[in-house]
Amino acid sequence: MLCDLLEGIKQGRPVNNIRGLAFLKDNIPIVNQALPLLDLDELPLPDRRFLDLPLYKGESTPGLPGRKTAVIYTSRGCPYACSFCASKIVHRQRIRFRSMKKIFEEIEDIVALGFNHLTVEDDVFTLDSRRVREFCSYLIKKHPQVSWDCDSRVDALNEELLAIMKESQYKKIAMGVESGSPRILKLINKNIDIHQVKAAFQLTKKMGIATQAFFMLGSPDETLEDIKMTEKLIFEIDPDFLFLSIFVPYPGTALYNDMLKAGLLAEGKWDSFIFFGQTVPWRTHHFSNQDLVRIRKGISRRFYFRLSYMYKKLSAVRGKEDLRYLIRGGIVAFRTILPSENKFTKSRELIAK
């Protein structure tokens, strides 16, 4: 698409027919026909030698101080249809896999540059257990010194799969739970249940793998009772790392459309469409934007500032790298989840409670 655009500009041709292009004409958004999805193996390997490599060799993965981390994708897209997620919009609810040959070529290049940890950023890396086993076997045989982590769904794991992952220096699993309320899980089309959540976290802890849980607040119909169920589940599964955010209604998602129709959303404030913002330009049927931020911070504080949690983290310190990481993480936590002394300014576009 970029090559077509540059060629069109060079030749003075109109851009109306360039597939995959979106632009403003007379301040009106124009979106041309989409391009077909690429075969991922047609893309060249990313050349990380253009990067200032020392900047990218820090501990960018929670809980893994001192590791030199590189990010790798083995697939794009997700076959699920969660109502809050934009992946199905971007990737048309399809999943495309890179060949294992291409993945292994990229890993060889990554290791040659001095990285010793891989973060696999696929939406759900564990969907195809055959590919996961092949990936693990390769690392065990070729690069036993390289550790890694990835994201998964709670219903895409079993003990046999986790065992070979653990053998290949798998260090941390991140799983999207989103809510502790069965009602909300059904409304957002997450297609998991609380039993699966508890079983997945219990199993990964049994295998000695660090756990990271993603939860969200602020589904349009969520009530205080739903939120209490979420907090209860958070403390029950007790992940090593909690990422509690506010639902972000990304354009094109079912959640966005529902909130727009209900008059809960102020459009055009895109710089506030972030997971951990100090305010958000929307409200729900039961909570204001201020309420959502206050509740998120409150649950996060109660989780991270427990004596038992702090003791567990201090007990795991094995050296200067661990201590430095813990201090930096603590500073970030204080800045992110402590209550603000300033009152939030209400946008006049928001509907009053």
What is the torsional sign of CA 236, 239, 241, 243?
Answer: negative
pLDDT tens string 21-54: 988 888 898 889 988 999 999 999 999 999 888 8
Strands 147-152 and 69-72: unpaired
Using 50, 70 and 90 to split pLDDT, how confident is the model at 341? very low
Average pLDDT on 315-327 reads: 78
Amino acid at 219: S
Q: What is the model's pLDDT at position 111? A: 97
Using 50, 70 and 90 to split pLDDT, how confident is the model at 344? very low
**118 burial class (0-12, 13-18, 19+ CB within 10 angstroms)?**
buried
Weakest mean pLDDT among 65-74, 126-135, 227-236, 315-324: 315-324
Amino acid at 211: T
Average pLDDT on 302-306 reads: 94
Task: Give the rounded distance of the alpha carbon of 200 from its chain centre.
Answer: 18
46 near 106, Cβ under 8 Å?
A: yes
pTM of the model as a whole: 0.88
To 5 degrees, how large is the angle CA 275–CA 191–CA 240? 50
- Continuous H helices in 277-351: 289-304, 307-315, 320-337
Domains annotated for the chain, with CATH where assigned, are 1-36 (no CATH), 40-337 (3.80.30.20)
Residues forming beta bridges with residue 151, ordered by sequence position: 174
pLDDT tens string 159-178: 999 999 999 999 999 999 99
DSSP assigned state of 186: H
Average pLDDT on 96-117 reads: 97
Place of tokens 């200067």: 320
The pair of structure tokens assigned to 198 is: 């508890």
Please say if the pLDDT value at position 235 is more than 80: yes
The pair of structure tokens assigned to 297 is: 């911070």
Weakest mean pLDDT among 57-61, 163-167, 215-219, 264-268: 57-61
pLDDT tens string 130-148: 999 999 999 999 999 999 9
Q: Which helix (H) or strand (E) holds 174?
A: strand 170-178
